[in-house]
Amino acid sequence: MTTFRSETAGTLGRLNHVGIATPSIARSVATYRTLLGATAIGEPFDVPAQGVRVCFVDAPNTQIELIEPLDDASPIAGFLRRNPAGGQHHVCFEVPDVHAAVADLKAKGATVLGEPRTGAPGTPTVFVDPRDMGGLLVELMEAPVGHAPA
């Protein structure tokens, strides 16, 4: 079977992670540990360019990205003003090539938020406007090298 570039550009890959906004990573980590029995919990780290501190919790088939604002100007701070307890913020799917996916989305009339940039996972990511995705904020992430697309 021949696969054309234009068909692979936006190919939906693995669910890489679910982004969860929280007012306190420490409290959320405790919750995932005690209520759900999570054991594989990374060290929190700052992503100053995005105004957030993040922490990844491993589930067997995906990750939870806990996101805490670094300051009041953070987009996550705005989310928490609307949802003080925190909650689901975005889902992140892997794609083979983020820049190709962006071109593909734009060609189909969708809006991407900003330019691809290297986010917390260390590979280029971009967000799709929730208005094009039924209200869901979708992050697309270039599949990490060595990750076989599922």
Among 19, 69, 116, 124, binds Co ion (CB under 5 A): 19
Whether 139 sits among the annotated catalytic residues: the reply is yes
Q: Write down the residue that tokens 């679910």 correspond to.
A: 18
65 counts as binding Co ion under rule CB under 5 A? yes
The active-site residue, picked from 65, 68, 94, 139, is 139
Residues in 77-136 that interact with Co ion by CB under 5 A: 92
Q: Among residues 127, 122, 119, which one has the least CA distance to residue 101?
A: 127
Of 97 and 127, nearer to Co ion (C-beta) is 127
Of 97 and 139, nearer to Co ion (C-beta) is 139
The dihedral built from the CA positions of residue 55, 131, 80 and 87, taken in this order, carries a sign that is negative
In the bound complex, what is the minimum distance in angstroms from residue 75's beta carbon to Co ion? Answer: 12
Interatomic CA distance for residues 85 and 79, integer angstroms: 10
In the bound complex, what is the minimum distance in angstroms from residue 8's beta carbon to Co ion? Answer: 22
Choose the binding region for Co ion from 4-12, 14-22, 69-77, 129-137 (rule: CB under 5 A).
14-22
Query: Which residues make up the interface to Co ion (CB under 5 A)?
Result: 19, 65, 92, 139
What are the catalytic residues? 139
